[in-house]
Amino acid sequence: FDIFVQVDTGIDRKRGGLGIGLSLVRTLVGLHGGRVWAESEGVDRGSRFVVELPLREATSSECEAGEAALAPCAVPPQRILVVEDNADARMVLHGILAAWGCSVSTAASGDEGLAQILAQRPEVAVVDIGLPGLDGFELARRVRMVLGEAGPRLIALTGYSSAAVRSAALEAGFDVHIVKPCSPAVLAEALAG
């Protein structure tokens, strides 16, 4: 857990990195009043890293704020495809949209997303731009080329926030460009059209 310390110190080491990862984890966990430790049964037996954080009871205002974020918005039930390579982001989006009464399917890559759009014909596709393989721009271009305006409403939900990316997204065929993280209200507004 010491900073800048790595197991393999040779110049031809096989693993990259700076040796700051576990030190950073220890610092962040400590800031939250927790602790972290490593367990191993020996050389070549693997390792397990355990993070223990204290749990406090949420206040009523925190509970209400969380419930309000997931409360059904003025979004009509729709068939929505989420195309997102980050598993956590995909899961959160799925949860929010399902809580709003939408029928949600997911894809982890641009190629998988395109195949699902063409096969399932969702009403809306929420697509990340930075996808492995077929990126969001190319996915949008192909959807518009094959389905035209009869295709789904395409929403780019991406960490890329520049005006150039926004312009490129709209030019590629997206109807809306949203920068993440975004509030549920912004997402609901984009879905409502």
Residue 106 near residue 157 (C-beta atoms within 8 A): no
Confidence of residue 70 (pLDDT cuts 50, 70, 90): low
Query: pTM, whole model, 2 decimals?
Result: 0.66
The pLDDT of 32-51, averaged and rounded, is: 89
152-168: per-residue pLDDT in tens? 999 999 888 899 999 99
- State the Cα angle at 189 between 186 and 193, rounded to 5°: 140
CATH topology of domain 74-192: Rossmann fold (3.40.50)
Q: Using alpha carbons, select from 130, 83, 77 the residue that is nearest to residue 101.
A: 77
Q: Which residues have CB under 8 Å from 103's CB, separation 6+? A: 77, 78, 79, 80
DSSP state at residue 149: G
Q: Using alpha carbons, select from 67, 74, 73, 30 the residue that is nearest to residue 52.
A: 30
Confidence at residue 13, expressed as pLDDT on a 0 to 100 scale: 43
What pairs with residue 103 in β-bridges? 79
Positive or negative, the CA dihedral 47, 53, 58, 59 is negative
Confidence at residue 113, expressed as pLDDT on a 0 to 100 scale: 96
Where do the domains of the chain lie?
1-56, 74-192
Residue 112: count other Cβ atoms within 10 Å of its Cβ. Answer: 18
Positive or negative, the CA dihedral 36, 42, 43, 45 is negative
Q: Which residue has the higher pLDDT, 2 or 48?
A: 48
Positive or negative, the CA dihedral 184, 186, 187, 193 is positive
180-189: per-residue pLDDT in tens? 888 888 888 8
Cis, bond preceding 184 (omega within 30 deg of 0): no
| Three-state DSSP state, 130 | coil
Residue 72 in this model has a pLDDT that exceeds 80: no
Return the percent helix, strand and coil in the chain, to nearest 5. Answer: 40, 20, 40
Residue 178 near residue 155 (C-beta atoms within 8 A): yes
